Structure 1
Amino acid sequence: MTLDEILDTLHDLPRAEKVRAFHFLSTELAREEGKGFEDGGEFPVWSPFDSYDAAQTLTRHLKENSKG
């Protein structure tokens, strides 16, 4: 099957199947690059929760720039 035939077939698939194909391809590409996610692995994600320094900086910036 050629790439054009695969693309035509993908085009005709329902949305859920397209998402499944996308997931498969993105996982394969990540694995080839050595960046795959392991099942049950822990991956750090930054969150603004409890980011008090950022809140203070933003508040100070807003006060300084709202004086008119």
Structure 2
Amino acid sequence: MHSKIFFIRLIQLDMSAADLFPTLHKLSRADKLKVIQFLVQELATEEETLSLQAGVTYHVWSPYNSHQAANKLAALLEKTDR
């Protein structure tokens, strides 16, 4: 079965994972690798939307110049020294 036709059929049928396994089992090794490649590309595309974007400024908290955090850390260190 040609892999493009296979994917179109899956989309048309709206199959669940349990429905896919018997069909995937029947595929040739080459087509199984194409399915794997397709799934990896799909996951990578989904993750791109979750990743950081180039040229965008993201605000991240830092303890730098945070005197309250420094005081808490000093207090904890004093407790461990006792």
Indicate whether the TM-score tops 0.5: no
Structure 1 or 2, whichever has the larger Rg, is 2
TM-score, normalization by structure 1 = 0.43
Judging by fraction of residues, say which structure has more helix. Answer: 2
Q: Which has the higher contact order (CA 8 A, sep 6+)?
A: 2
